[in-house]
Amino acid sequence: MQRLFALRGAHSVERNDADSILAATDELLRELMARNPLTPDSLVSAIFTVTDDLDAQFPAVAARNLGLNQVPLLCAREIPVPGSLPRIVRILMHYYAPEDHRPNHAYLGEARALRADLEAAQ
């Protein structure tokens, strides 16, 4: 039996340019796919957010480049909380997997600081 799951992840971006945003997002997506049973058919949707200092490209373009052409994707801005990490792309994905699956979130680069509790457990 299948169940709906939500998966989180984040990655730091080196610079505010299209190549850097796409590279970080691609690496994050590939890591999430390696850690979880994600296929284009199992994905329901994905929401990307970026910090205010990233505006050179939509992170969803990296998902499209990986073949996620039928998955609804949305890009939005993260709330600019004072003192928060700069140059971060985040993702929230919804997907179907077997009931006994346990989501394996991924926080890469400087974004590891956002959820050190999750990274220590993996």
Give per-residue pLDDT as tens, 2-54. Answer: 999 999 999 999 999 999 999 999 999 999 999 999 999 999 999 999 999 99
Average pLDDT, the chain: 94
88, 11 contact by CB (below 8 A): yes
Count of CB atoms situated within 10 Å of the CB of 86: 13
Q: Compute the Cα dihedral for 66, 22, 19, 77 and give only its sign.
A: positive
Instruction: Give the contacts of 121 (CB within 8 A, at least 6 positions apart).
Output: none
Amino acid symbol at 22: L
Residue 57 confidence (pLDDT): 98
For residues 35 and 63, give the distance between their C-alpha atoms in angstroms, rounded to a whole number: 16
Residue 118 pLDDT level (bands cut at 50, 70, 90): low
Instruction: Give the contacts of 78 (CB within 8 A, at least 6 positions apart).
Output: 49, 50, 51, 52, 84, 88, 90
Residue 117 confidence (pLDDT): 73
Fold (CATH) for 2-120: 60s Ribosomal Protein L30; Chain: A; (3.30.1330)
More confident residue, 120 or 76: 76
Residue 112 confidence (pLDDT): 92
Per residue in 60-86, pLDDT (tens digit) is: 999 999 999 999 999 999 999 999 999
Residue 122 confidence (pLDDT): 44
Q: Which helix (H) or strand (E) holds 108?
A: strand 106-108
Residue 121 confidence (pLDDT): 43
